[in-house]
Amino acid sequence: MNYKQLLILRLSNLTEWKNEREMIVSDPKKMLGVSFASDLVTCEFPDDHSGFVIHGYYKNKVKLYRGEYNKSGLKHGKSFGWREDGRPAWEEEYRDGHIVK
């Protein structure tokens, strides 16, 4: 079983596929232990099979969060946050779940 199949099993709370690489997640807290103040959270699987990317959106459909995760579900790569008006709020980089300074 590959990591994508494992993630799909782990994400048994998913509601639907947005497209062939991205699915809508109904309960991100169950999935990664994080909560988002948004109505829509999606999980994208990049073509390089390096992990997955979580996208969170405000109720007005403006992007709230984008975070990269490795196959183990740890933050790995860049994470970004935006204010409700669309302006950038913060940016962080992670390696295997730890902030890179």
All structural domains of the chain with their residue ranges: 3-99
**3-class DSSP assignment, residue 80:** strand
Per-residue pLDDT of the chain (101 residues; tens, 9 = 90+): 455 655 665 555 555 667 767 767 666 655 555 555 666 778 888 888 788 888 888 888 888 899 998 888 888 999 999 998 999 999 999 999 999 97
CA separation for the pair 30, 21 (Å, rounded): 21
Contact 44, 53 (CB under 8 A): yes
On whether the pTM is more than 0.85, the answer is no
Q: Which tokens sit at 47?
A: 């073509």
Length reported for the chain: 101
